[in-house]
Chains A and B, each alone.
Chain A
Amino acid sequence: MAVPDLPETISAHGSGATWQEAVEMFRRLGGTIENIRDGRGRGPGLFVIDSSKPVLLRVPERLLFLTEELEFQGDRLALHEAAPVGSAERDFFEAYMRAASVRHGPLMGSTRFMAALDALPSEVSEYLSVYFGMDELLDGEPDERARNWLLNRKTTTWNGRNVVVPFLERMDDAADGLLWRVDPRGFLHLEGHASGELIVNRGPRDCLGFFRKFGIARAQPQAYSLRLSRKLEAGTLMITRDMSAHTLRGGFPVPRLSVAGDTLALSYLMIGSSRNPRLSRGIFRTLMREAGISDPDDAFDEILCYNRRGFLGLLAALEPHEGWMISNLRGMARYQLEAMTHCVGAREL
């Protein structure tokens, strides 16, 4: 819906001079932001101004900030003093973060999230640590964890490196969100139609991954296996969860398979997809047969069984307890199991 009385890009509602100032600095440094305003949906976010027109965000590479060059100063994200960033870019980043922090106090939400995790019953924490490897959310000094987690939430992977992308980092994430790309001039380019809050698809993620990154349970179209190692007839199969390590086969991303001695390593493994229910088993069959495994279906079923039991075990651990985080974790487990149900038949690649 059009909002005719607002400026072209950013809403004046409560934004103050600093927000507008950050937008203007962004443009002066070569960035483009059109038909987008600041606001609040399920959390702080960005919204379309006129839904009959596309939104456009173009971010030059000089305004993509490497996470390794960032640090928290108080509750605000800032560039290291020694970070090799030009003064104009540094000024923009500071203005942008000042506007964002003043308006939304994002670290407070992260601190609350860590407090809720720390309040979990010990058997639940242990389960999350042992089965799901969530140590980064559970171990260590709470403020440090909150900062690290907040930074991770804001991170996008760009050419194999982790960066914070202004404006994009404020958008909600969903599998059916807008996809960004690298345009011919090397800009991060996000364009498309939206009706309300801007949602971006930052990459393939399952419910477990979504929870770890954003702290909430939300249904995802696919599920990926937990990390595991299993004996096969001719060696050991290891599965990790690096969804960025993939190749394309027949237009579909498939995990990287590496062989070292008698160990097969898959960078990740999809075990259910509501969009492509036949693909999970099909990918595994193809890769395993190429690796000389004669009965991949058995191994795939074992992997499914392990994963299902893992999430059912979490539901069992949560059963006697109540509370927001308990319900949140239950939702995560349920959504993950639901995504796994979409594994029907097999298609050859």
Chain B
Amino acid sequence: MSGSANEPALTWDEMLKFVRALGGVCENIVPGPLGRGLFAKDPEQPVLLKLPPELLFDIDDIEFVEGSLRLKAIADVMDAHRAFFDRYQSAFSWGGGGFVESAGFVVALDGLAPDVRNLLTTDFGMGALFEGDPVERARKLFLESRTIQNADRAFLAPLIDLARHSATGLAHEFANGLQIQGSCNGEVLVSHGVYDSISKFRPFGSVGPEPGAFSLPVKVTAGVPEVRIERDFGRSQKRGKDWVPILEQGGGSIELSYLMIGHVKFRRLSRGIFRTLTREAGVNDPDDIFDRILNFNWNKYLNLLAVLEPYEGDMITTLRKMARFQLEAMAHCVGSRDIESGPAAQTWNISIQ
């Protein structure tokens, strides 16, 4: 059995019955009035949303067919789950506002002035947002914004994917499936991963303050060794209680998989991490290099604000906010504190955007 355009659209209550029949749990949650967003029915009570492994759908198993998002015919999924997925997507996710939201984002991007598009492409690595068929880009953005990754598995999690992201939102809990639970003051916000303002903008098309800021890719050649910073948040390790990037060394250079350059809560950590890791790699004056990286990033975002200055419009305002929120997080880089030295004790198992 598969969901199709011929099936009547599911109501919220019908969909919840479906979820529960398939082993899921959804308590005290109602949909938002405008498409995406979940809310606590009774804000005084905690919410719970639990999906068994069978209700987590591998990205590799899904496809877009004309206007629909559905499971591939070859996907190894039981009929009932297939029916649920197709009808859920049609009524609440891709078909329930997801396409409109993503396509609107693409249209707004395409409406940007050429100098703004060029700058976002060259300095912020956003070229993919502007290249190719608009519908394909909307599909890709939709999947990027909804995909959850745990270890090597990338999947869509129905209902949870409707919740909007907040760094202080409910955490993904992986244990025999996926669940979120806890108290919410109205809207059920979920931490879908670690984002800074620019990485949040990219898939969601929205902006908001994020507690941390991470460096743009940059190569600092002033010292020996050369220092390269990437933005691969999937490569991370734990030192004591702190998550830190992976440092690789060779050929007269060192590479950090990413670099935090400001955090509202952990103001001393950004420089502390850089100092510790690079000193272990034999860098003599890490503060100088760290300051150069800060300088590079500040100038990129300030230049973006300069390029945006002559323009007005919703997307311009969104980009201004994105830059400002990023700079705000970067401003919170104060002092330094040591982190635990020595080899990595644990490998990060959550990949983030």
Chain A residues at the B interface, C-beta cutoff of 8 Å: 277, 295, 297-298, 301-302, 304-305, 308-309, 312, 315-316, 319-320, 322, 327, 330-331, 334, 337-338, 340-345
Contacts and interface: CB of A to CB of B under 8 A. Distances in A.
Contact of B331 (A297, A312, A330, A331): A312
Interface in B254-300: 267, 285, 287-288, 291-292, 294-295, 298-299
A338 B299 contact: yes
Contacts of A302: 334
A308 B333 CA distance: 11
A327 B309 contact: yes
B305 A334 contact: yes
Contacts of A305: 267, 331-334
B312 interface: yes
Interface string B323-349: 010011011111110000000000000
Given A297-B336, A312-B327, A319-B321, 7 more contacts: A295-B335, A309-B328, A315-B320, A334-B309, A341-B302, A345-B288, A345-B291
B244 to A, nearest CB: 20
Please report whether the interface of chain B is mostly helix, strand, loop or mixed according to DSSP: helix
Contacts of A345: 285, 287-288, 291
A341 B312 contact: no
- Central interface residue in B287, B294, B298, by most chain A CB within 10 Å: B298
B306 interface: yes
Nearest to A322: B312
Contacts of A340: 298
Given A331-B309, A344-B288, A344-B292, A308 B331 contact: yes
11 contacts: A297-B335, A297-B336, A302-B334, A305-B333, A334-B302, A337-B327, A338-B302, A344-B295, A345-B285, A345-B287, A345-B291
B327 A341 contact: no
A343 B317 CA distance: 29
A312 B317 CA distance: 15
A339 to B, nearest CB: 10
A334 B291 CA distance: 19
Contacts of A312: 324, 327-328, 331
Contacts of B288: 344-345
Please report whether the interface of chain A is mostly helix, strand, loop or mixed according to DSSP: helix
Contacts of A320: 317
Contacts of B267: 305
Contacts, number: 67
Contacts of B309: 327, 330-331, 334
A341 B295 contact: yes
Interface in B306-326: 306, 309, 312, 317, 320-321, 324
A226 to B, nearest CB: 14
A337 B291 contact: no
Given A301-B334, A301-B335, A334-B302, A341 B294 contact: yes
Contacts of A343: 291, 295
B116 to A, nearest CB: 16
A59 B318 CA distance: 53
Contacts of B334: 298, 301-302, 304-305
Nearest to A307: B331
Nearest to B323: A315
Contacts of A341: 294-295, 298-299, 302
A345 B321 CA distance: 29
Given A319-B321, A345-B291, A301 B333 contact: yes
B198 to A, nearest CB: 16
B316 to A, nearest CB: 10
Q: What 8 pairs between A and B have smallest CB-CB spacing?
A: A308-B331, A341-B298, A344-B291, A301-B334, A298-B335, A345-B288, A341-B295, A338-B302
Contact of B305 (A309, A315, A344): A315
Contacts of B302: 334, 337-338, 341
Nearest to A301: B334
